[in-house]
Amino acid sequence: MYQRIVLFYLLAANLLTFVTYGIDKYKARHKKWRIPEATLLLLAALGGSIGALLAMRVFRHKTLHRKFRYGVPAILLVQITAAVFFLCKQ
């Protein structure tokens, strides 16, 4: 049961992150109000790092910014390390 809740959360977080990055790219192209970079990075840190990486590739968005190019993969690495640690403890 616990695993299903975590899986659902991660799927939702990654979908939300992917869509949010896409919206920000749309807004960037149309010179509209943008989503703050801190929000985009926070979404990645809250479990949406895979969605962020996919969105960066699909939308070609934030790929030139160092804090995204290196930060999002670093967040994913920390999340994978934490998941392995907690899974091995069980």
Q: Which two tokens stand for residue 32?
A: 């509209």
For the chain, give every domain's residue range: 2-89
**Contacts of residue 28, Cβ cutoff 8 Å, sequence gap at least 6:** 34, 61
- Tell me what the mean pLDDT of segment 58-79 comes to: 95
Is 87's pLDDT higher than 90? no
**Contacts of residue 2, Cβ cutoff 8 Å, sequence gap at least 6:** none
Q: What is the pTM of this model?
A: 0.92
Question: Could you report the per-residue pLDDT of 9-66, keeping only the tens digit for each?
Answer: 999 999 999 999 999 999 999 999 999 999 999 999 999 999 999 999 999 999 999 9
